[in-house]
Amino acid sequence: MARLSPTVPKKLLADRRPPVEVMPEGDGRIEILNGALVRYERREDFAREINALWQRAQATFLTIGTYLNLAKERLPHGEFNAMIDRDLPFSPRTAFQIRAATVAIESGRLPSDRVPQNYTTIYYLSTLPDDALEQAKQSGLLRPDLRRSEVIAFKKKVLGGGEAEVERGETTARRLATLRRQKAAIEKEIARLERGVAQDC
């Protein structure tokens, strides 16, 4: 029996380059390629890239804070806390700090070009009373490389408070959030029972 040999068009034999792979929209490989690290060799290249990513991280937390504040404003009573408890990857405390930091920047109380890129430190700055905040601005405390420990030390020096005072404030805020969630659950249960009573009458 004679062997059959496949016929291959001469054009394909001449062009031995692999075909261009077309990646459809949403293909995970696009994300991998976009997120691939560039193997820099120079210090200034590394610094430029790290600074750009750091600024992007700040913009991201501010966007998250804006969404949190919009959700707080627009969701029905009890839904905001339920969302934080069940649907989000961070704690109520983190949500509270991000929201407060975002409000402080968006309101202009803290200048966005002079604050650090960390929402926790911005939050601690936002807890300063207006006169103490003005003093912090005058003394040069507001700067991009500011650390949380410096804010606490400043607060202790100016107000006689410190980390313990800030922690007490956060504990109060968390306790309030818990009580509000419990109140929402109780109100929901009361409404359910009242509907049942009305139907029985």
For residue 22, what pLDDT is reported?
40
Residue labelled with tokens 């995970």:
28
**Would you call 153 exposed, middle or buried from its count of C-beta atoms within 10 A (0-12, 13-18, 19+)?**
middle
- What pTM, to 2 d.p., does this model score? 0.59
Q: Who contacts 97 (Cβ-Cβ below 8 Å, separation ≥6)?
A: 119, 120, 123
Give the pLDDT of the chain (201 residues) as one tens digit per residue: 444 444 444 443 344 443 333 444 455 555 555 667 788 888 898 888 887 877 788 779 989 999 999 999 999 988 999 999 899 988 898 999 999 999 999 999 999 888 888 899 999 999 888 898 999 999 999 998 999 889 988 988 887 755 565 566 666 766 766 777 788 789 888 988 888 887 876
Taking each helix axis from N to C terminus, what angle separates 148-159 and 119-126, rounded to the nearest 10 degrees? 10
Q: Kindly state the helix (H) or strand (E) to which residue 49 belongs, with its residue range.
A: helix 43-74
Q: Where are the domains of the chain?
A: 45-190
Token pair of 116, please? 């650090």
Residue labelled with tokens 């991998």:
32
